[in-house]
A and B are shown apart, each in its own frame.
Chain A
Amino acid sequence: MKKSTLFLIPLFIFMGIAGFLYQGLFSDPRDRESTLISQPMPEFLLPDLMNTDVQYTQEVFLGKVTLLNVWGVWCVTCAIEIPYLMQLQREGKHIVGLYYDQDIDPDFGVKTVQRVQQEVRDKLAQLGNPYAYNIFDVKRDLSLDLGVSGAPETYLIDQNGTILLHHIGDLNPRVWEKKFAALYQELVKGS
């Protein structure tokens, strides 16, 4: 290697870095891919939010294309999202809620289920109810298994109970077009 080429190395390294920084400007640093894609729904046994006598397992997702929406009444963005979910529901999409409560310390919970149910009823009466039913993630174990880091998040699950998409943040027409629409159409056609 000639001596003069040695002195070019810093310049090349810098240009490489600058290229990545340029790309980085146009992508969201918080955006990250989910590890659950193409995985079957994790096992669970959880009650229905409104009727705790009913119990669901992962098998409840078999046979139907489902949008599983993680939400809670305490979540500001969820309230913004629900009107759009209503629209999806009117278009015939099967939306299931995965509800978890923030105030309940799983080990020291003092809030009664009745109170949670009342809050949910009030909220949905106000915004509309897009959910076929809500699974109540009592101790947030299912959320953890699903890699949920907050609300809202939405999963697209196929007829075999396999997770195909995991979206962090709210659903809106733009996100639907970009991430969900094509895949969803394909799934529905296939069935």
Chain B
Amino acid sequence: MLAELGNFALVIALMLAVLLSIYPMWGAYRDHDKMMAMAKPLAIGMFLFTAFSYFCLTYAFVTDDFSLAYVANTSSMSLPIYYKYTGVWGGHEGSFLLWVLIFSLWTVAVAIFSKGIPTKMVARVLAILGAVGIGFYLFMLVTSNPFDRLLPFYPIDGKDLNPLLQDFGMIIHPPMLYMGYVGFSVAFAFAIAALISGKLDSTWARWSRPWTIAAWAFLTLGLALGSWWAYYELGWGGWWFWDPSENAAFMPWLAGTALMHSLAVTEKRKVFKSWTVFLAIAAFSLSLLGTFLIRSGVLVSVHAFASDPGRGLFILGLLVVIIGGSLALYALRASEVKSDGRYQLISREVFLMGNNVFLTAATIVVVLGTLFPLVHKELGMGAISIGAPFFNQMFTYLIVPFVFFMGLGPLSRWKNQSPQALYKQLLIAFGLSLAAALLINMNYSEPSYMAALGLVLSFWVIVTTIMEIHQRITPALSQGMGVVASLQQLTRSHWGMVTGHLGFAVMLIGICLVSAYSVERNVRMAEGDSVNINNYEFVFKGVFAHQGPNYSSDMGKVEVFEDDEFVTTLTAEKRFYPVQRTTMTEAGIDSGFTRDLFMALGEQLKNGDWSIRIYVKPFIDWIWAGAFIMALGGVFSISDRRYRMAKLNKNKGKKHSQGEQPT
């Protein structure tokens, strides 16, 4: 019964989305305040009904209602209760319900937190979100309804949640990822609203900046979680596979990163307006494209949503309408935009845009590498594979100029930067980073050139960032202010940038050290055998049987000694889930600041030995730590006073209606 209500709630949410797409837009066109004022209650209603629908599906999971096809396919009675809550997004239909729930949440957030923005703009933005919402709700109701019943004959027990997803990382990975994916719809809506109104000044950039940063921070976390999950759950010890499912999330992340920086230029300097609008459209379009790639099954990927051409066709139609429509609007309107800012060749504008170029080129590389096998085959030229060698090669080329500009940008002034002053700073920065990189690299017996290059790049970012802070506080220091006081002077959004860049450097250090200095051994071991890697000795203590709530497992234990001192015991599992008849690996990992010890259990061999993978991965946790720090940078930026200006103004009343008047 509740399931029918959930279904009904979705239909109502669709209706509200339709109204939301019409009334405020019409109101903005006709200058009709009441129609525009409908936007907020409609958005709230859309969210509430979607949330109720989501609650209904959760209830069906918790109460084991296997008459729902979706529940029967993704849950079972023996599934632990916490996975019943998270199993709601364990399959295609439910995860899309989560997607629209998050979408409606963003919409409501825009409706509530946009007090400082002109009513007309908000009305248009919400109307565009409503229009996008129509597509999402229709898609779910028509092709992927999680409330479809299996009546009159339904199974006694469900088919269980995919064991791959019975894991903590997977519990939080999809919500974070979707927050990012869908969050870009807000920047998209602002851009389209600006295009429709013809007011492509820099105001829209300012308004959409915090939203973009928020979505970006979530996407960063989502990607990092996905990568971390793949590392400990898939049992191969890798952290990035260039699989289409990863690329699908990486494309909008790259475009979003470019957008974030381009928005800053457009807001502050009123230049590159048409480029920024394009990136806003691109970031969300790539989110949608990624969704299409994963949910339609056009590409071979480790990610397995059951593929269905009907669904694929529907999303493709959605893509054509949303992306095609907005790009057509873009072609019509963007050519009228004129940039009025002025700048010289050596200026922050140029360096930031240079950075943008390489980020966008990286996006293009990922899009090409992901889609090209399909194009190649459809043209009758045969099946090809594009994987790690290609992407690694391209990214190695791209990252060098990218990081170079990344150091230059913050150090330079807007409009015009004196080349001499910059040149001196850069020389120092380069010397310092080269020295630091060589020092670290010398610790390894077989130094790798790639690692040295990567380290130079990482330290380049760190050194230039510190120089930039120093440069910023110098005036205050010279006026006799203390170091702490002058540091406190810097805005939160400035700290956001600093944190974000340092996070990137941390991640880069992790990437290049783990790529160059990982040691991987695949060995066969009998109880008592040992393997030596670096200073570590791994002693195999045998395999023990273990019974979990809905699986049985073999637990392999390996004791690790470092220079004959006991370090830890690694426990790796091979789990067998009887309902899905699936075997899963759980790696045994000892995480550390400078290295991970990784062990995965293979198969038992005929003579009783086990095949075991034992890896030592230096600095691998820095990759995810770096991503986390980057996301933290995003949080700092959003918490900046400027973005709360609207609220402050309101609190102060009409007296200070122009918040930022020069004093």
Contact = CB atoms under 8 A, between A and B. Distances in A.
Q: Do chains A and B touch in the complex (CB under 8 A)?
A: yes
Interface of A: 3-4, 6-8, 10-11, 14-15, 17-18, 20-27, 29-33, 105, 108, 110
B383 A18 contact: no
A21 B316 contact: yes
In this complex, the member of A11, A24, A33 whose beta carbon has the largest number of chain B beta carbons within 10 angstroms is: A24
Contacts of A7: 274, 330-331, 334-335
B328 A27 contact: no
B316 A18 contact: yes
B606 A105 contact: yes
A33 B313 CA distance: 26
B324 A25 contact: no
A25 B309 contact: yes
Interface in B278-320: 278, 281-282, 285, 292, 296-300, 309, 312-313, 316, 319-320
Contacts of B328: 11
Interface stretch (B52-60, B210-218, B369-377, B428-436): B369-377
Contacts of A105: 606
Given A11-B324, A14-B323, A32-B382, A25 B331 contact: no
In this complex, the member of B297, B378, B382 whose beta carbon has the largest number of chain A beta carbons within 10 angstroms is: B378
Contacts of B442: none
B138 interface: no
A33 B383 contact: yes
Given A17-B371, A29-B299, A105-B606, 12 more contacts: A6-B335, A10-B331, A14-B327, A20-B375, A20-B378, A21-B371, A24-B374, A24-B378, A25-B298, A26-B309, A32-B382, A108-B606
Contact of B316 (A22, A27, A33): A22
Interface residues of B, number: 35
B330 A10 contact: yes
B295 to A, nearest CB: 11
A25 B606 contact: no
User: Which 9 residue pairs of A and B lie closest in terms of their CB atoms, listed nearest first?
Assistant: A32-B383, A24-B298, A11-B327, A4-B335, A7-B331, A25-B312, A8-B331, A29-B300, A23-B378
B567 interface: no
Given A21-B298, A29-B300, A110-B606, A10 B378 contact: no
A162 B208 CA distance: 65
B296 A25 contact: yes
Nearest to B524: A108
B583 to A, nearest CB: 16
Contacts of B281: 10
Contacts of B374: 20-21, 24, 29
In this complex, the member of A3, A10, A22, A27 whose beta carbon has the largest number of chain B beta carbons within 10 angstroms is: A10
Contacts of B335: 3-4, 6-7
A23 B377 CA distance: 10
A8 B329 CA distance: 10
Nearest to A19: B378
Given A18-B316, A18-B319, A27 B378 contact: yes
B331 to A, nearest CB: 4
B297 A29 contact: yes
Contacts of B285: 14
Contacts of A11: 324, 327-328, 330-331
Contacts of B300: 29-30
A110 B608 CA distance: 13
In this complex, the member of A25, A31, A33, A110 whose beta carbon has the largest number of chain B beta carbons within 10 angstroms is: A25
Contact of B324 (A18, A23, A32, A108): A18
B605 interface: yes
A15 B313 CA distance: 15
B90 to A, nearest CB: 23
19 contacts: A7-B274, A7-B334, A8-B331, A10-B331, A11-B330, A14-B324, A14-B327, A17-B371, A20-B375, A20-B378, A21-B374, A25-B313, A25-B316, A26-B309, A27-B377, A29-B299, A29-B300, A30-B300, A33-B382
